[in-house]
Homo-oligomer: A and B are copies of this chain.
Amino acid sequence: MPTSESPRRSLRYEVRHSDRDAVRTIVERTGFFRADEIDVAVELVDEHLARGLASGYYFVFAEIEGAVVGYSCYGPIACTMASYDLYWIAVDPTQQGQGVGRQLIQATEAGIAAAGGRRIYIDTSGQPKYAPTRAFYERSGFRCAARLVDFYAPGDDRLIYEKVVAEEWKSR
């Protein structure tokens, strides 16, 4: 099993035009998102391509031998001092269970901490099909800080997960 030290796997932080297709393919293949949500994922890539860091959307891509197998998209929350949203984190289904998600979330946390961020938030759904997603966030040190009942639709709650990035985290 590849580890995060595997020479085959690497992280990339700059955004390329080819990432539009990579993001669309990965997000589609997870089977978790509607067409309009998939469009939003690609739009965030476009925003970064058009405006760079000023877009407020930062990316980490996980690659195996140059092919993108997962990514995260995050950014500072307007009108907050040091809070960040993790907008997207997705791994190609054929590459799940090998630590790619964990590597992406660790790199995301490192980027946020290095930029002075203190708190990270993730929105997700309370629906049963998201149980593995929620378990992943909890294993990664996030806790459910809020639940908005029926927010997305009747029977589909919004959960807000939170992780505090302590100052000492930087020195690890």
From residue A76, how far is it (CB to closest CB) to chain B in Å? 12
A145-B146, A146-B145, A160-B146 given as contacts; is B37 within 8 A of A151 (CB)? no
Q: Smallest CB-CB separation from A79: which chain B residue? A: B37
CB–CB A151/B119 < 8 A? yes
CB-contacts of A70-109 with B (<8 A): 77-83
> Which of B80, B146, B156, B160 touches A153 (beta carbons < 8 Å)?
B80
For residue A36, CB closer than 8 A to chain B, the reply is: yes
From residue A78, how far is it (CB to closest CB) to chain B in Å? 7
For residue A121, CB closer than 8 A to chain B, the reply is: yes
For residue A9, CB closer than 8 A to chain B, the reply is: no
CB–CB A148/B146 < 8 A? yes
Q: For the complex, would chain A's binding face be called helix, strand, loop or mixed by DSSP majority?
A: strand
For residue A136, CB closer than 8 A to chain B, the reply is: no
> Which of B34, B36, B82, B148 touches A121 (beta carbons < 8 Å)?
B148
Q: Smallest CB-CB separation from A153: which chain B residue? A: B81
Chain B residues near A78 (CB-CB < 8 A): 40
CB–CB A79/B147 < 8 A? no
For residue A21, CB closer than 8 A to chain B, the reply is: no
Q: CB-defined interface of A113-145 with B at 8 Å, one 1/0 digit per residue?
A: 000001101000000000000000000000001
Chain B residues near A36 (CB-CB < 8 A): 79
> Which of B77, B79, B118, B152 touches A79 (beta carbons < 8 Å)?
B152
